[in-house]
Amino acid sequence: MTIHGKILAIFNLLGLVGLLCLTAMDFGKQQSWKYQNFRADLMAEKDPAPLKVLTPSGLPVDEKEKSEDGELLVELIGDPKEPTPTQTLKELFPQGQYVNTQVKEVERVKGLLDASLQPVANDKTKSLVLLCRYLTPLATTFEERQRLILIRSNLEDEGRAKALNTALRQAFRPALERMYTDKDLPPVAQVKDRKRPFEQSYLEAVFLQGGADKRPFVEKLLTVLPRPAGKKYAQAFADLGDMIKEEAFLQAVRNEPGKPFQEMFDAGYEEMLAAWSAS
């Protein structure tokens, strides 16, 4: 081979090496763009149909969710049980604790929540405070957020919880007395609006005791106190006649004749806490 042929062969070889390098660079960039596009697709809401909307976390709903190309998303994201997690899992969960579906993430968080509630499972007050602490950031309306904050502020320590119980218990007689004062007022325009139902009178009696706003507890207590066979608040009050006695009033409302006031109130108070925890 002549010297010119050797030079051309070297140039051809160098050109081939350069072409291979460009191919490798192009393939690497294409893979990078492909991955970024895949990550963007995970974050997008591609289909509003049920079980098709991906959350901002980028997780598919379950193991059956597929990409636009028909591939299972859990396979593209990676198996969290593998010793070495994929890049996608590391980016989605920089703190570890990898999962690849929303269902698994909900199960994981539920397990953490159940574990934190277990030590206070037998204490309705503490468990309710803990639930409100978890739910407050998830509130979707201002009213819901305020209600959760008020529940926490009234129950977060033993002193406040005791003050709440006392305020709710001691407000029964003043509430009935306020209604009794209104009962015999002449029906003229100036005083007609002063006649009020027991629910309003009780709320006012609790409010006048001061302290933190107790409205959520008043509303829930008034809901759980009546029994199906008991009388309505208005009828129970009317049956009292001229004798304002909170024990007889509550016995009529709960249909529990002969029971002492403290026992009936304590039962209603526990029912109220249970109702808040259930809701």
- Residue 262 belongs to what domain range? 165-278
Tally of structural domains, the chain: 2
Task: Provide the 8-state DSSP code for 232.
Answer: -
Long-range contacts of 245-248 (CB under 8 A, 24+ apart): 246/172, 246/173, 246/176
Q: Identify any residues that bridge with 66 across adjacent strands, giving them in sequence order.
A: 72
pLDDT tens for the chain, residues 1 to 279: 677 676 777 767 777 777 777 777 766 666 566 666 666 666 654 444 333 434 435 677 777 777 666 777 777 777 777 777 777 777 677 677 777 777 877 888 888 878 887 887 788 888 888 888 888 888 889 999 998 999 999 998 889 999 999 999 999 999 998 887 765 555 544 444 456 789 999 999 999 888 889 999 999 999 999 999 999 998 998 888 877 889 999 999 999 999 999 999 999 999 998 888 877
Indicate the residue among 137, 155, 173 that finishes a domain: 155
Instruction: Assess contact for 38 and 44: CB atoms under 8 A.
Output: no
In this structure, the answer to whether residues 235 and 268 fall within a common structural domain is: yes
User: In this structure, are 178 and 243 located in the same domain?
Assistant: yes
**Identity (one letter) of the amino acid at 239?**
D
pLDDT at 81: 76
273 and 172 share one domain: yes
Our CA angle for 38, 99, 97, nearest 5°, is 120
User: Is residue 88, in this structure, part of any structural domain at all?
Assistant: no
Tell me: do 210 and 244 sit in the same domain.
Answer: yes
Over the range 41-80, which residues count as b (16 or more CB within 10 Å of their CB) and which as e? bbeeeeeeeeeeebeeebbbbeeebeeeeeeebbebbbeb
